[in-house]
Amino acid sequence: MIVAATWDGPHLGPASREVLGAAVRLGAAVGQQVAVASLGPEGSGAAEESGGYGVAQAFVVEGDCAASGSEGSIAVLAELARELGASAVLLSADDRSAEIAPRLAERLGGSAVMHATAIEVHDGRPVWTRPVYGGKALATISAASEPVVATLRRGAFRAAEVTGGAAAVSTRTAPPTDGAVEFVGSEAPVAGASLEDARVIVSGGSGVGNVEGFAELEELARLLGGAVGASLAAVDAGWAQPDRQVGLTGKVVSPDVYFAIGISGASQHLAGIAGAKAVIAVNTDPEAPIFGRARLGVLMDCRQFLPALIEALRRRASPR
Amino acid sequence: MLGSDGAGLAKSARRTAMHAIVLLKQILDWELPPSRFRIDPETHRPPDNLGPTLLGPFEQNALEFALQLRDAGIVDTLTALLAGPADSADALRKALALRCDEAVHVEVGADESTDPSQTAELLLAAIRRLEPAELVLAGRQAGDWDHGQVGYLIAERLKWPAVGLVWRAERSDGRLRVWRSGSAGVEQLAVRPPAVLTVTSHPSLRLRMGSVMDRMAANKRPITRWTLDDLELSSEQLAAARRVELTRVWVAEVERNCELIEGEDPAEIATALLGRLEELKLLTRPG
């Protein structure tokens, strides 16, 4: 059995559909069925929906898993994986799964594979590809012990296709935890479109120069219907909030169009935009690595270019 | 119940601050340009002479986090622990220069650092040999293999709770209140020590410089060196801890096909860029 975990509410989101796509294809390649564990609030909707994507069994986990940090999620996933004899548990790679996957693998006596970008099956066993050295290199690994708990990079796997059908849905209650970790509260995220789901991202780096430059990026993003991202350098400089950081250690994004404004393109940044369909780079340095990743490039100081681009977009939106 | 509570109280009366062990790693300069980066197909690693090795960026965050906990009086004793080849002790020297109380180097070959389970087993053996600690702090991931697993595996094997990607902590009623950034915004959690925390990159965690005096003094301070024998670990035991087989490592190739948009002035380039984006169907015409 291949187990896919989702934290969606009433409906499956794009990240979960990618995980389901990978799970269904892996299941077909190794001759195993797919089960979904739906751990989100009001997750019964997502569980029901998964049946339409070729999932055989769906488990709705009741109770507030997040009240114990990751402890509740790990406990219930371990219980399900054991019971179903899972050979693999797949999760979307994000901050939550970063904490869950290694611990779940350890509890199951298996192996964790973090940030996989491809799965191939050789002799009936999955071989996983993942970036290493901040995205400068790729490695293929196979697990020495099963089950494998793998986190899948956003944008690297094709979303599941609708097959029709229904899953056998049942409910579960997360086992109690020892209370060593308690959720205290959260501050609402900084307003702005979700980077992971944005089709257009306008990202700024050190070349943007200051906070005022980032205000211009906001305007550019608004005109393009996109979200604002930032390089690690820009976050370090205090021009953008940490939750806007794109890169290996920030958000891994896969938009259709990614504007890299004043970003040189350090490997760790490029690793975060590997799934972007087209990168548009604006930079003064023709040797900047970002041009090696870009489809279109502008060799110019972005502080000069941004006002012109904003003006051109405004003219385009309301032609005289 | 009474008995255990009483013991806990007695302990906290004796000692209000904690012993923290911060896990360090020295890695190839991560700023090395991709054009110079190589992988030796035999060893699956970059060749030894490719560039300098430095205290990893995320370990720098973890060390700064540990120092801030000590500044706040939450931690009173700080041990820096590193497993790696003989030439990776600079990171420990740096930790001593920032006034870590002790620096411990578990000497292993470079091949022993590619499997997170094996690394966790090594560090765990060292942690068990050290003075009992209430906190183990790790970077969010090592900047070479990027697994992001070692801290969590140690937590599981110690049966301690773990909270990941933390960037701030305060003491609160015998627990630690920690802050982290998740998809739901900034989250606060309370964790009961002993615990493992992994520390994320955050603007507030840029590693401090330390004083020249402390740097000079650090050169005279000892680094404790342990071998596998000292830890009573055999190479067979270590090999048995492996969980993944590395089959191939190769440099990611990037095909350069960037089309530069040119023009007389910014306005002309901007108009040309928008036109090209439309032609490529990357931007839809308004209306």
Q: Does the beta-carbon distance from B186 to A187 stay under 8 Å?
A: yes
More confident residue, B7 or B119: B119
Tokens of A90: 């797949």
Q: How confident is the model at residue B1 (pLDDT cuts 50, 70, 90)?
A: very low
Asked if residue B122 lies in contact with residue B85, where contact means CB atoms within 8 angstroms, the answer is: no
Tell which of B54, B150, B181, B202 to mutate to test the A interface (max A CBs under 10 Å): B181
What chain B residue is nearest to A192 in terms of C-alpha separation?
A: B185
Q: What is the pLDDT of residue B143?
A: 87
Pick B164's closest partner by Cβ from A98, A115, A236.
A98
Average pLDDT over every residue of B136-143: 94
More confident residue, B158 or A134: B158
Query: Any idea which residue has 């003219």 for tokens?
Result: A315
Q: Does the beta-carbon distance from A181 to B161 stay under 8 Å?
A: yes
Q: Does the beta-carbon distance from A69 to B189 stay under 8 Å?
A: yes
CA distance linking residue A270 with residue A232, whole number of Å: 11
Asked if residue B117 lies in contact with residue B147, where contact means CB atoms within 8 angstroms, the answer is: no
Chain A, residues 206-235, CB within 8 A of chain B, namely 224, 232, 235
Asked if residue B165 lies in contact with residue A95, where contact means CB atoms within 8 angstroms, the answer is: yes
Report pLDDT digits (tens) over A159-189.
999 998 999 999 999 888 899 999 999 887 6
Contacts A92 to B, Cβ<8 Å: none
Alpha-carbon dihedral angle through residues B274, B278, B281, B283, given to the nearest 10 degrees: 50
Chain A, residues 276-305, CB within 8 A of chain B, namely 277-278, 280-281, 289, 291-300, 304-305
Q: What is the pLDDT of residue B15?
A: 60
Q: Are strands A88-92 and A125-132 parallel, antiparallel or unpaired?
A: unpaired
A191 touches chain B (CB under 8 A): no
Residue B66 has pLDDT above 90, yes or no: yes
Share of chain B above pLDDT 90, in %: 72
Contacts B256 to A, Cβ<8 Å: 291-292
| Helices B57-71, B90-97: inter-axial angle, 10-degree rounding | 20
Asked if residue B22 lies in contact with residue B101, where contact means CB atoms within 8 angstroms, the answer is: no
Residue type, B141: Q
Contacts A103 to B, Cβ<8 Å: 152-153, 155-156, 162
Give, rounded to a whole angstrom, the gap between the first and last alpha carbons of chain A.
61
Q: How confident is the model at residue B7 (pLDDT cuts 50, 70, 90)?
A: very low
Contacts B186 to A, Cβ<8 Å: 186-187, 189
What chain B residue is nearest to A67 in terms of C-alpha separation?
A: B189
Tokens of A19: 């995980």
* Beta-bridge partner residues of A120: A127
Tokens of B73: 């009086």
Share of chain B above pLDDT 70, in %: 92
CA distance linking residue A111 with residue B120, whole number of Å: 13
Residue B184 has pLDDT above 90, yes or no: no
> What Rg, from alpha-carbon coordinates, does chain B have?
23
Q: How confident is the model at residue B183 (pLDDT cuts 50, 70, 90)?
A: low
CA distance linking residue A52 with residue A40, whole number of Å: 19
Q: What is the pLDDT of residue A196?
A: 84
Q: What is the pLDDT of residue B87?
A: 87
Burial class (CB in 10 A: 0-12, 13-18, 19+), A93: buried
Report pLDDT digits (tens) over B195-247.
999 999 888 898 999 999 999 999 999 999 999 999 999 989 998 999 999 99
Q: What is the pLDDT of residue A193?
A: 65
Asked if the ipTM is above 0.95, the reply is: no
Contacts B189 to A, Cβ<8 Å: 69, 181-184
Sites in chain A below the pLDDT cut of 50: none
Report pLDDT digits (tens) over B144-157.
999 999 999 999 99
Q: Does the beta-carbon distance from B274 to A316 stay under 8 Å?
A: yes
Residue B12 has pLDDT above 60, yes or no: no
What is the pLDDT of chain B when averaged over all its residues? 89
